[in-house]
Structure 1
Amino acid sequence: MVRIGVDFGGTKIEVAALSDDGAFLSRLRAPNPGNYDDAITTVRDLIDRTETATGKAESVGLGVPGSANPKTGLMRNANSTYLNGRNFAADLTTALGRPVRLANDANCLALSEASDGAAAGAKVAFAIIIGTGCGGGLVTHGRLVEGGNGVGGEWGHMPLPWPRPEEMPGPTCWCGQQGCLETWVSGTGLRRDHAATTGRDQPGEWIIGAARDGDKDAAAALDRYIGRLGRAMAVICNIVDPDVFVLGGGMSNVDELYGRLETAIRPYVFCDSWAARIVPARWGDSSGVRGAARLWQS
């Protein structure tokens, strides 16, 4: 059986075909064209080329930024803003001549890693994307949890918990609220915090490297980042109690997170002996397309 997954990113669109055992049969990429009609055409053409190479697929799943309103099907909260207000799944169904399933990209990461990745076998797995933005996805007993309104796991737009006086009210987020996690624990948030404290705007990679080289300001920014991420993850522990956290996105490559987050989380968890595994995504940036291909199994 061939399953097709589509990872609809802000700069590129990837289509992959997977076998039943999760092996890649084909992978194709194209630039995101930046407008709705051409995006439909690009996805259709990539799928056609993939099926020419591998044979007809049993199913097509699509991972996207933002989410679809389960009542209307209309997209919302996508950073590819031309998707918002459009019924992307229905229009792709028409273009392809068969149904597709659509889910948030962080949900696809969670489903991929819970199926055969770093969280395989977990009772409760929470996947976190910490890159340019911040997102989350929840899988329980192998099944994706999207919720009644399709916003299950939308972790990036809750406020920073247990805020310090200097963290209030927090930066204004693109969503219109203040102090969202996305403004604090994304890679962009690390850069913003370092610049606000030092007056020097440096990319995240520079800050991490400088911290390792002994730069006190960079080390302090990394300390604050880990503390804030730990507090944010503790809220998830107190609500759904994951046995595994899987980290994806650019900040998931920072090795210091895996040695220090447990200590940052533990004081805020309402439990006498809390423990959970905190691991990087096994499939890296392939998790999105792999999870999309598995949407018909969830």
Structure 2
Amino acid sequence: MLRIGIDLGGTKIEIIALDEDGRTLARRRVATPQGDYGATVAAVAGLVAAVEGELGQRGTVGVGTPGALSLRSGLIKNANSTCLIGKPLLSDLQAVLGRELRMANDANCFALSEAVDGAAAGAGVVFGVILGTGVGGGIVVNGRVLGGANSIAGEWGHNPLPLPDDDDVPLPACYCGRAGCIETYLSGPGMAADHARHNGAALMPEAIVAAAAAGDAACETTLQRYEARLARALAGVINLLDPDVIVLGGGLSNLARLYAQVPQRWSAHVFSDQVDTRLVRAVHGDSSGVRGAAWLWPAG
């Protein structure tokens, strides 16, 4: 069975074709047509036709999107690629490709990829976290994505940061219209903004990490605030979902110290005498989204 996955991103559209065992048979990417919905649909269709022509067979198609499919209207919502908002992306792609498709949020695809054959392979309940320009989350239970009644299961980044203290206020404004969202603290821009608020210096996360490693006390304190916030936020997930594994992806997942420091800190906030949830780094990295889209069609 040939599985095709599409990762529909804001800057690039990527396609992958996997065989039954998850081996990559083909992979391509093109730039995303900026602000042009019709051209975006055509680009996806062109990639599928090219890969199927190359391999000489037709496959199932799964699509990871930067937003979610409204169960009420069938239209895309909550997408940072704004040209998709309010569009019937699923039905339009099914019409142009002449087959049923499966579609999920890109964070759900990330979590699914890591649950199927990545860092959380074999785990019953997996929470996947993307710590990048934004903060996303996805839930996989027994190998299947949990979408939820409102198609927002795992949208952890737009919960409020738990237990804000003096270091966390005033609550930063979020693009969603709320203030104090987890994303405003734990995204890459959130870390940079936090460092600037406390120190007046405009540094990117990479520079903060490097300076902390070189002994800069202010940057070290910024990372400690970040770790404490991530621990509090993930403790809430553990108390609610009790996952076997939490997998981190996105640029900030490369910060190796998180995997030791955060579990030490989250125990104080978890309602249990011990915490067996594992915190791990994604195996497939930037490929997790497109691989997970392919795995939206399970075996059989």
Superposition TM-score, scaled by structure 2 size = 0.97
Ranges of 4+ aligned residues in structure 1 off by more than 6 Å: none
One-letter amino acid matched to 1:264: R
| 1:240 maps to 2:238 | no
Q: Give the structure 1 partner of residue 2 of structure 2.
A: 2
1:91-106 to 2 correspondences below 5 Å: 91-106=92-107
Q: 1:274: Cα distance to partner?
A: 1.3
One-letter amino acid matched to 1:124: V
Q: 1:169: Cα distance to partner?
A: 4.8
| 1:196 maps to 2:197 | yes
1:1-298 to 2 correspondences below 5 Å: 1-34=1-34, 35-297=36-298
Q: 1:65: Cα distance to partner?
A: 0.7
One-letter amino acid matched to 1:50: V
What is the DSSP-based 3-state SS (H/G/I as helix, E as strand, rest coil) of the residue aligned with 1:295?
A: coil
One-letter amino acid matched to 1:279: V
| Structure 1 unmatched ranges of 5 or more | none
CA RMSD between the two structures: 1.1
Cα separation, 2, equivalents of 1:288 and 1:163: 32
Cα separation, 2, equivalents of 1:80 and 1:264: 35
Cα separation, 1, equivalents of 2:97 and 2:144: 26
What is the DSSP-based 3-state SS (H/G/I as helix, E as strand, rest coil) of the residue aligned with 2:211?
A: helix
Q: CA offsets per residue over residues 100-129 of structure 1, 9 Å max, x none?
A: 111000000111111111101112110000
Cα separation, 2, equivalents of 1:236 and 1:169: 24
Cα separation, 1, equivalents of 2:216 and 2:99: 56
| Structure 2 unmatched ranges of 5 or more | none
State the number of aligned residues. 298
Cα separation, 2, equivalents of 1:259 and 1:190: 19
Q: 1:45: Cα distance to partner?
A: 0.6
